[in-house]
Amino acid sequence: MFKYFFKKDFKRFFTEENSSNKCIRLSLSENLWGPSSKALYAIYKELKHVNLYPENSYQKLKDLIATKYNLSADQIFLGNGSAELIMLSALALFKTESVGITSTNTFVGFKFSIANIRGLCFEIPMSNNFTIDTKMLILEAKKLIERNFYISAIYVCNPNNPTGTVISENSIKTLIDFGKKHNIYLIFDEAYMEYASRDRTTTAIKFINYYNKILILRTFSKFYGLAGLRCGYLLSNKEVIQQLKRFQQNVVFNVNRFAYVAAFNSLLDRRYAIRTYNKNLKMKKILMCGLKKLSIEYVNSETNFILIKIGKNYLDLYEFLTEHKVHVMPCDKFGLKEYIRVSVGRKQDIKHFLSLLKQYKQKMGNI
C-alpha cells in the first residue's frame, strides 16, 4: 500500500489546496513542495530499523557529497542542521574571548556562536544594494588587527539571508586572500546556494584547497525540503574536520537515521533537483511580478525568499496577514525595520498573499 501511495498520491499530498483552517507558512524559507519521493520512501523503509542507532560514520552520505564536489570524504562533517555546525565550529576552533566579524542584516546565528565563546562580534554595514560589502569587511578587520584584536573568523552568508543577494567570485577570492594573510577562519554559509543561478553565483567550495581555514556550510533543510529532519554538512580541509571530530567525540549520532537516508536519497534524485530549481524560479517570477503591479519595492533574490519593503506599517501588515493565516517573517531581528521576508511558495500561496497585500494597501490607502 505504501508503494502505491508514493506512485499515485505523492503529488496530491504536498500540493493540495490549503483549507480554511490551515495556515500558509511563508515565514521560514521552507520548501513548500516537499521533499523527494525517493527520500520519503527511504524513510519508510528505514522504519523497521528505528530501534537501532544509525551507522555512526555516515560514510555513504559523506562519499556521495565528496563525489558531488570533487573532494575526499574526510573533508566532510555532518551535523544536526547547519546551525549546529556554526556553533560547533566556534566552540571547537576559536579561542575564548576572540573576535568574529560579520555583516549587519544577515543570519543572526553567527553572532550567537561568538557570544557562546564570550567573544566580540563586530557587524559591518552592508552596501546600499543590500549586498555584503567585502571591501568594508576587510577594511574594518585591518583596523581591528592594528588595535591588537585577535580575529578568529569572518562570516559570510552567500546567498545572504534575509536579503537574497550574492557576492562576486572576485570578492570571495579577495576575502580569502586577506584571511590567508592574517590566519583567519573564513566561514561561508551557503544554505541557499542550490537556489542561486549558476551564471551569477560562485560557491567558495572551489577555494577549499587553496587555503586551509575555509569552512563551507550547506544544509538539506532548504532546497531539499528536509527541514523537519535537521541534516547539514560542513566542507573544509582534513585538519579542520579532525578538530571538529575530536571536539564532538562525546556527542555521537547527532544525525538521526531518517535524516541520513533521506539526505542520501535526495542527492541521488537529480530529477527532483531540476524540478525544484525550476519551480522556485517560476514562482519567484510570479511573486515579483505581483509586487511590481502593486508598486511595492523588493530586493532581487537568488534564493527561495524575497525581502519586501513595507515601510513603517510593516508590523501592522504582519498582524493583518497573521489574522488571515498567512505567516511571513518581519525583519526587525535582522536590523531591517520596515521589511518583511516572504518565502517563495506554491502558486496558490503566492496568489493568496498578493491578494491580501492588495486588500491591505487599499485599506490603508498605501503602504
Q: What is the pLDDT of residues 240-293, one digit of tens each?
A: 999 999 888 777 889 999 999 999 999 999 999 999 999 999 999 999 999 999
Strand-pair partners of 129: none
Half-sphere exposure of 313 (CA within 13 A, CB side): 12
> Residue 19: which residues within 8 A CB-CB, separation 6 or more?
none
- pLDDT above 90: residue 154: yes
Beta strands in the chain (DSSP E): 24-25, 76-79, 99-103, 120-124, 151-157, 185-189, 214-219, 232-235, 298-299, 305-309, 326-327, 329-330, 339-343
Q: Which pLDDT value is given to residue 366?
A: 72
Instruction: Assess contact for 60 and 296: CB atoms under 8 A.
Output: no
Where are the CATH 3.40.640.10 domain residues in the chain? Answer: 41-268
**Mean pLDDT across 85-101:** 92
- pLDDT above 90: residue 103: yes
- pLDDT above 90: residue 348: yes
Instruction: Assess contact for 353 and 342: CB atoms under 8 A.
Output: yes
Helix (H, G, I), strand (E, B) or coil at 277: helix
Distance CA 222, CA 227 (A): 6
First to last CA, the chain: 51
| Nearest in space to 266 (alpha carbons), one of 41, 4, 9 | 41
Q: Which pLDDT value is given to residue 291?
A: 98
Tell me whether strands 214-219 and 24-25 are parallel, antiparallel or unpaired.
unpaired
pTM for the whole thing?
0.93
Tell me whether strands 326-327 and 24-25 are parallel, antiparallel or unpaired.
parallel
- pLDDT above 90: residue 4: no
Longest dimension (CA), the chain: 67
Q: DSSP letters of 269-294?
A: -HHHHHHHHHHHHHHHHHHHHHHHHT
Q: What is the pLDDT of residues 224-239, one digit of tens each?
A: 999 999 999 999 999 9
Q: What is the pLDDT of residues 11-60, one digit of tens each?
A: 555 555 444 458 999 999 999 999 999 999 999 999 999 999 998 899 99
| Nearest in space to 175 (alpha carbons), one of 201, 139, 205, 151 | 139
Peptide bond into 35 cis (omega under 30): no
Distance CA 122, CA 99 (A): 8
Tell me whether strands 298-299 and 185-189 are parallel, antiparallel or unpaired.
unpaired
Distance CA 29, CA 329 (A): 9
Distance CA 296, CA 353 (A): 13
Q: Which pLDDT value is given to residue 9?
A: 56
What is the CATH number that goes with domain 2-30+271-364? 3.90.1150.10
Where are the CATH 3.90.1150.10 domain residues in the chain? Answer: 2-30+271-364
CATH class of the structural domain 41-268: alpha beta
Q: Which pLDDT value is given to residue 18?
A: 43
Instruction: Assess contact for 99 and 144: CB atoms under 8 A.
Output: yes
Instruction: Assess contact for 153 and 184: CB atoms under 8 A.
Output: yes
Instruction: Assess contact for 218 and 193: CB atoms under 8 A.
Output: yes
Tell me whether strands 99-103 and 151-157 are parallel, antiparallel or unpaired.
parallel
